């Protein structure tokens, strides 16, 4: 004695039709989440990020090569790249200035919002005019910054930049040992990132885009 029991197949049919849509829906939600997450993920800078929100130390007493006093507040809305160097510098200064110049090229129009300056740490040999002429060899938009040794030292110390004059040779030539980092001041005037020697054009370009976003 056996009774044939019909399986309730009719009920399982709609479920089978719905599950592909569930998978697609889940995929869409996941992709959107990943996309938005990517948008809001903070940019990872290629230098040392300064965590405080302190305004960059003012360049008290220092002037651009054309004599205009350096006023960092006038650069708000732009990124200011500050480098402390000197013109009798064979290796590091040309390397960093070339890197920044090529970065401005990569940035195109956005590069117009990056103000680059080299403060001379050797004002006795670097005339105020010449420091400008020197940096403009690397990029016509660069500006030289000059002050007396005491004025430069007061400012540079606040940036954590040190310099000292090495022993002169028989001709009186001397190299200058200096902190050769590049500093980025963000559009709010905050000293934001410090770049080491060897930062690349690609790294700097990505960071400038992030700072100017």
Give the residues lining the site for other proteins (CB under 8 A): 87-92, 94-95, 98, 130, 133-134, 137-138, 162-164, 166, 171, 173, 175, 177-180, 197-198
Integer Rg of the chain from CA: 28
CB of 40 to other proteins, least distance (A): 35
Distance (Å, whole) CA 64 – CA 133: 11
CB of 197 to other proteins, least distance (A): 4
CB of 20 to other proteins, least distance (A): 55
C-beta of 76 vs 162, nearer to other proteins: 162
Distance (Å, whole) CA 139 – CA 43: 27
C-beta of 50 vs 212, nearer to other proteins: 50
Distances (CA, A) of 25 to 14, 36, 37: 17, 17, 18
CB of 119 to other proteins, least distance (A): 15
134-135-136-141 Cα dihedral, nearest 10 degrees = -160
Distance (Å, whole) CA 56 – CA 72: 8
C-beta of 138 vs 146, nearer to other proteins: 138
CB neighbour list of residue 97: distance below 8 Å, 6 or more residues apart: 83, 85, 118, 135, 138, 139, 142
Q: Which two tokens stand for residue 123?
A: 């004002």
CB of 76 to other proteins, least distance (A): 30
C-beta of 18 vs 177, nearer to other proteins: 177
C-beta of 37 vs 90, nearer to other proteins: 90
């Amino acid at each position: 004695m056996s009774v044939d029991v019909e399986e309730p197949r009719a009920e399982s049919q709609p479920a089978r039709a719905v599950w592909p849509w569930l998978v697609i829906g889940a995929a869409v939600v996941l992709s959107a989440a990943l996309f938005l997450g990517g948008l809001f993920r903070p940019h990872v800078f290629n230098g040392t990020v300064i965590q405080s929100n302190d305004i960059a130390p003012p360049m008290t007493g220092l002037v651009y090569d054309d004599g205009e006093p350096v006023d960092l507040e006038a650069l708000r809305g732009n990124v200011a790249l500050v480098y402390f160097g000197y013109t009798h510098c064979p290796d590091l200064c040309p390397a960093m200035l070339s890197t920044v110049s090529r970065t401005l090229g990569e940035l195109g129009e956005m590069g117009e919002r990056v103000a680059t300056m080299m403060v001379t740490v050797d004002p006795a040999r670097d005339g105020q005019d010449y420091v400008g002429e020197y940096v403009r060899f690397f990029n016509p938009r660069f500006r030289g910054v000059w002050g007396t040794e005491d004025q430069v030292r007061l400012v540079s110390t606040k940036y954590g930049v040190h310099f000292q004059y090495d022993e002169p040779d028989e001709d009186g030539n001397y190299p200058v040992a200096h902190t050769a980092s590049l500093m980025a001041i963000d559009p709010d005037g905050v000293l934001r990132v410090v770049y080491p020697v060897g930062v690349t054009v690609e790294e700097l370009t990505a960071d400038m885009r992030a700072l100017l976003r």
